Amino acid sequence: MSALGGPAKTAGVQPPTGMGLVISIVLIIIAFALAYFLLQIAGLLAVVGITVGGILIGFGVHFVPVGGAPAAMGQSPGIATGVPMLASGAGLAGLFAGAWAAPLGLPIALASGAIGGGLLMAITCTMVNIIYIFGMGIPAASGKVDKDPITGDTFPEYKTQGTEGHGLPFISWVGGVIGGALGGLGGTLIYLEFLDIYQAQMPALLSATGEQIAPIAISLAGVFAIGMFLVNAVLVAYNIGGTIEGPHDPKFKRAPRAIIASAVASAIAGVFAIGLLELVGVF
């Protein structure tokens, strides 16, 4: 326990504290009330959608197997890069695909965003395994579990002594794809909510037609969606604390805390993003 009296640092479960829960709920209610005050029911629905998108991103990042520098040296399992880098890469590829499919309707845009993120992670994880196996000669071995929950492969006999495991087991591959898909889904949902709000608000505000406003609305929505993505990815990176192996890692049980934090951050940032136009109108 730290000198400031924070929660005890344990490797696995770190549940949210009571005080944190209360403050989070109050902040979310304030954000929702502000949204209703600014744009009535449309604003409230948009902020709820943005919050759900943020939760999806925050939860999805926990699935992505990130090993950091030790993974690059063959000393721990996972993908050898940082949490925000990989998670935002996958989510933004999803956003790219989702925004492209946006004119085809909400379900197709959301599915396309999810597949876009999942596809990036599928290709990246496969190439990482190719490099691990053919370039470095490292077979997959998890350090956190003895048996792959999906394929049933056993790991202890393959694990090199003096490492925390190495390579990218199949469960981590599946986790990466799920994480990328959830990130792409959340990012696309946030983008579509912003786009709806901006397309409804801007023509009256700038006294122009909807077609003239479309490029600005799309750019603004895209910029804010990327911003929301980075907020959530970095937030969750702190919760994970460097490395995670995927859904089988004990650290995965920390997810509830990150989900609450993502919800609060998304709701507040979302209110500021949709309230921006109101401010422009006031001045």
Partner 1 sequence: MAMQMNPILAIVLGSALAVFVQGVYATTAYLGRTASLAKFEQPVYIDILKSMTTVTMAHAFVAVFATVTMCHLIISALGHPFPLPLLGLIWGIALGAAGSATGNPFYGKERQYQHQKFGAGVPISASGNIVRYAEAGERNSLDNGFFSAKLGGPASGICFGLIVFFELWRTVIFEPLAAGWGAIIIGVVAILIFAIIDRYIEVWARKTFGPYVVPGATEEVSS
Q: How far apart are CA 227 and CA 208, in angstroms?
A: 27
DSSP codes of every residue in 105-137: -HHHHHHHHHHHHHHHHHHHHHHHHHIIIIIS-
* Contact positions with partner 1 (CB under 8 A) in 12-41: none
Restricting to residues 243-282, which ones interact with partner 1 according to CB under 8 A? none
Interacting positions 196-225 with partner 1 (CB under 8 A): 214-215, 218-219, 222-223
Judged by CB under 8 A, the residue of 10, 17, 100, 279 near partner 1 is 100
Which one of 17-25, 26-34, 39-47, 165-173 is the stretch in contact with partner 1 (CB under 8 A)? 165-173
Question: What are the residues whose beta carbons fall under 8 Å from the beta carbon of 225, sequence distance 6 or more?
Answer: 95, 187, 190, 191, 194
In the complex, what is the shortest distance from the CB of residue 63 to partner 1, in angstroms, rounded to a whole number? 14
Out of 32, 63, 96, 252, the residue judged to bind partner 1 by CB under 8 A: 96
| 102-131 positions binding partner 1, by CB under 8 A | 102, 104-105, 108, 111-112, 115-116, 118-120, 122-131
Q: Which two tokens stand for residue 213?
A: 């406003």
Q: Are 106 and 195 in contact (CB under 8 A)?
A: no
Query: Which residue among 25, 33, 106, 136 contacts partner 1 (CB under 8 A)?
Result: 136
Q: How far is the CB of 234 from partner 1 (least distance, A)?
A: 13
176-195 residues in contact with partner 1 (CB under 8 A) are 177
Q: Is 47 in the site for partner 1 (CB under 8 A)?
A: no
Residue 81, interface with partner 1 (CB under 8 A)?
Answer: yes
Binding segment for partner 1 among 7-15, 32-40, 46-54, 98-106 (CB under 8 A)? 98-106
Question: To the nearest whole angstrom, how small is the minimum distance from the Cβ of residue 114 to partner 1?
Answer: 8
Q: Applying CB under 8 A, which of residues 157, 209, 211, 283 lies at the interface with partner 1?
A: 157
Instruction: Say if CB 63 and CB 258 are below 8 A apart.
Output: no
Q: Rounded to an integer, what distance in angstroms lies between the CA atom of residue 59 and that of residue 247? A: 11
Please check whether residue 51 is in contact with residue 263, taking contact to mean a CB–CB distance below 8 angstroms: yes
Q: Indicate the residue among 228 and 268 with the shorter CB distance to partner 1.
A: 228
What is the helix (H) or strand (E) element at residue 205, kind and residue range? Answer: helix 170-206
Burial of 9 (0-12, 13-18, 19+ CB in 10 A): exposed
* Cα Rg of the chain (Å, integer): 21
